[in-house]
Structure 1
Amino acid sequence: MTLPVNKRVDPVFFHNKRSQLADMTTASCLLSEDQFRCFVCQNVFTDPVSTPCGHNFCKNCVTETSHADVPFQCPICQRMFFPKPELQVNTLIAELLDMFRRSAQRQNREPVRGDFFCRTRSNAFKIFLFCLFLIVSSQVKYGPHLKEEAKGKKPESPEENKLSAVHLEQLFTEVMKKEIPRLLIRAELMKAQRYAVDVTLDPDTLHPKLVLSADRKQVRCCDPQKNLPHDLKRFLYYKYVLGEQSFSSGRFYFEVQVKGKTNWTLGVAKESVKRVGLIRLRPQFGYWSLTVRNGKEYSGLSEPPVHFSLQSRPEKVGVFVDYGEGLVFFYDVDAAALIYSFTGCFFTERLHPFFGTGHNNNGTNGEPLIITAVRLPE
């Protein structure tokens, strides 16, 4: 979340709030333990884990009663995942919680207005929390130039304009509940992007009617006059193509632009997948993929498939694979959001990036899939 350009932080705000901020330096705010409470047991996290949908719980709270043969359901958003994800301790949250506890033990905590602020020596954590404080501040009516004056009402006096600690805590808590999951997913995406690989499309696997760009970075449907030579590697009935590169260990990541398309499929496929006849895009047949139809109907092609919708349509999708851990993640790159994930996969042979353009649909799905260069975080 960034500070809107049309909502700058007015120096008057800080002048009027000096009495409230006098007890903390530029970024010495730290949340209370309430920010680290598990939704299920309402206790402070023990071995915190993050679900694929971005929510956090104690590990035992979401694993001790779950079974491998039934879908996993998030207790907060009710989203279903199958196969059941193998939840690992989220080291970032664990470190933040440990930092909070050590800071409280190491120093004499001096509560300020409801035990909301205390001191910490971690500069990075200070800056992080101060940025969130500014975000909250930007949402508060703190100057005479806002809506009340626009309606002809008398501007508030400095005393009336003071922000109570209770109000600040409520706003801060609301922002943190929304932003911490996003920040954690963004951090995971940035980490995944460091495993970016150069991917090109394999013309030998290209469906006969698909059109490949000269640099083998783009593919679109379709050229009805085109007739490629028969090849045992080629997809003959479905408009698919594999990447030339293959991977049998480690981690890899690539990004694909899907802007303007209403139908597409992305993922990875094992090298020996079936290319002719009826093809079922399921893990048991060697495909781990995400598909969209009619621009809004998303499906994670697990067994059974998981159907869902998104608030906004991704324009660029990132695909991350951890071969050894059996993970396949799909990200909305621009929103830094997790779209879908496969966990607990068992890979036994080389994997290729996998692409499906969908039908042209009279031009409504004529845009190409474009493999784009990954912009690494600075």
Structure 2
Amino acid sequence: MAAANYLPSEDQLLCSICLDVFTDLVTTSCGHNFCKSCITEHWDISDRCQCPMCKEAFNTRPDLRVNTLFSEMAAQFRQSAQQKASSSSSEQQVFKPGEVPCDVCTETKLKALKSCLVCLTSYCETHLKPHLTTSGLKRHQLIDPVENLEDRMCPKHDKPLELFCNTDQTCVCMLCHVSDHKMHDVVPLKEAYEGEKAELETDIQQMIQKRQLKIEEIKHSVDLSEKEADREIAEGVQVFTALKESVERGQANLINTIKEKQKTTENQAEDFIKELEQEISELKKRSSEVEQVTDSEDHLHLLQRFMSLKVAPPTKDWTEVSIHSTHEGTVVRAVVQLEETFSKEMKKLLEAELKRVQKYAVNVTLDPKTAHPKLIMSDDGKQVSHGDVKKNLPDNQERCSGYICVLGKQSFSSGRFYFEVQVKGKTRWDLGVVRESINRKRAFQLSPEDGFWTIWLRDGNEYKAHDAPSVSLSLKSWPQKVGVFVDYEEGLVSFYDVDAAALIYSFTGCSFNEKLFSYFNPSVKDGGKNSAPLIISPVRVN
């Protein structure tokens, strides 16, 4: 049995069929070991009787013998494995990284079950028993195990931090309460915790409610956007259907007109041809008669006959008669008519578009702190014009001194807004929006790159959009009132001729990342021709 105390490796004690430690170990005649049930079942389902290990074939199923030595080794190995498993279950209480260790254990540190706020010590199950049984220790406050218990001690008095000072918003001990925090609002930690918890829960609930309301607001906005999209689609379909029908109608009319003209031409040609063929027939008849009389030698008779044949010959002059195409200009006239139809439909669309943007009208007033010293503004902040005298005004940071301009008081950093400015009677002006960070102290380039989205008028009829590069504008009429619309998120700035309901120009793909302000420049008086003010007008939907 001494050999039984020797345990081979685990691999040597595994059945090659079930790959587990041998159970009822038996040996075949070829010397290989298997579980009795495994080898028996293997041979029951196999076509041939052979060893699974060495493949030696047997004519008849061999007798299986018990290998006493290996059976004892397997049994001993199984018992050892069970003991290790039992031992590992008790070792689960041993302190592991990330857990709080027992402060009392000296050799193997066990996992702490509780920490005492009075003793400032963490205990495992064994060392915790006195706190559960001794009357004096039962009154100590136990909590789930925590690290760094020394941080719970007052650094000044070396006493537990048991109170909370609402005045200074800090944890204090009893000695702090009667000394430095004597006149402060001090409460027990539990009360402070419950108060903070209630306040935090309230704040969280309010935040949740605000976000729920925001969700509802967003959903409502999506619903409105969907309705607006449906309306836009319906209007677009209606317009394009009308245009399509107009094009098809124009095409049909064009084809019919050309065909009718071609038919008229063909009928006229047929009449001419018929008349010519009739004359040819008559002439051939006369030619035949001439040939008939030429056989006679009676010259008097012949001469008299010729004279009668000359009576009433075909006299029509066909030299100037011709057939001309009458199709020239038909297509051009049809396209001109189609263009007129397109213009009418386009005007309808622009009128509808202007009405939509006018819904975003805001009350804009001029900001005196930004006005150039030569500008004169009305008391209500709605009118601005150029003055001859430069006023002595403080050169504050907001004031524009590079150009004779003034900004609006109101700033915009999201959404859409619209305002209208009367420019009637002026020969020069600048209008638009600018970003907050423009250089206000020197002359600057009016371009989107420098933070300006503006249009201007010069010499009474020269309109220009200060894009990159600048764009000269050809307008059918001279605007008397200009509407300015901005969609911050869309990056869009559009200018409208309000009275004509026409689009003047649009800046698209703009990048806005700071506050925007309305921009007004009434320009110089131009010898009195440009003395009229720029007037911010109330928006009235057409």
Q: TM-score range by the shorter chain?
A: 0.5 to 0.7
* 2:482 matches 1:340: no
Report Cα offsets for 1:308-340 as digits up to 9, x if no partner.
232321000000000010000000000000011
Which amino acid is 2:500 matched to? A
Q: 2:450 aligns with which of 285, 293, 304?
A: 285
* 2:495 matches 1:353: no
Show the counterpart of 1:219. 384
Show the counterpart of 1:276. 441
Change beyond 3 A, Cα 1:176–1:270: same
Q: 1:321 aligns with which of 486, 492, 497?
A: 486
Show the counterpart of 2:356. 191
Show the counterpart of 1:43. none
Q: 1:177 aligns with which of 328, 338, 342?
A: 342
Q: How many residues align?
A: 231
Q: Does the 8 A contact of 2:483 with 2:496 survive in 1?
A: yes
Which amino acid is 2:381 matched to? R
Cα displacement (A) at 1:227: 2.4
Which amino acid is 1:178 matched to? S
Distance (Å, rounded) in 2 between the aligned partners of 1:287 and 1:113 = 45
Q: Which runs of 5+ in 2 are unaligned?
A: 1-231, 254-333
* 2:428 matches 1:263: yes
Cα displacement (A) at 1:173: 4.3
Change beyond 3 A, Cα 1:238–1:113: closer
- TM-score, normalised via structure 1 length: 0.56
Which amino acid is 1:254 matched to? F
Cα displacement (A) at 1:92: 5.5
Q: Does the 8 A contact of 1:211 with 1:223 survive in 2?
A: no
Q: Secondary structure at the match of 1:354?
A: strand
Change beyond 3 A, Cα 1:99–1:208: same
Report Cα offsets for 1:170-221 as digits up to 9, x if no partner.
9974542220111111111110000000000000000001001000000000
Q: Greater helix share, 1 or 2?
A: 2
Which one is further off, 334-343 or 272-281?
Answer: 272-281
Distance (Å, rounded) in 2 between the aligned partners of 1:328 and 1:184 = 18
Distance (Å, rounded) in 1 between the aligned partners of 2:402 and 2:242 = 57
Distance (Å, rounded) in 2 between the aligned partners of 1:226 and 1:182 = 46
Which amino acid is 1:308 matched to? L
Show the counterpart of 2:372. 207
Cα displacement (A) at 1:364: 1.0
Cα displacement (A) at 1:93: 5.6
What does 1:41-190 align with in structure 2 at a 5 Å threshold?
A: 91=233, 94-96=236-238, 173=338, 175-190=340-355
Which amino acid is 1:343 matched to? T
* 2:495 matches 1:330: yes
Question: Which has the higher Rg, Structure 1 or Structure 2?
Answer: 2
Change beyond 3 A, Cα 1:364–1:274: same
Q: Does the 8 A contact of 1:209 with 1:227 survive in 2?
A: no
Distance (Å, rounded) in 1 between the aligned partners of 2:401 and 2:510 = 27
Distance (Å, rounded) in 2 between the aligned partners of 1:113 and 1:354 = 47
Cα displacement (A) at 1:115: 7.7
Q: Secondary structure at the match of 1:245?
A: strand
- TM-score, normalised via structure 2 length: 0.40
Distance (Å, rounded) in 1 between the aligned partners of 2:446 and 2:528 = 25
Percent identity over paired residues: 50
Show the counterpart of 1:142. none
Which amino acid is 1:287 matched to? F
- RCO comparison, higher one (Cα < 8 Å, 6+): 1
Cα displacement (A) at 1:94: 3.6
Which amino acid is 2:499 matched to? D
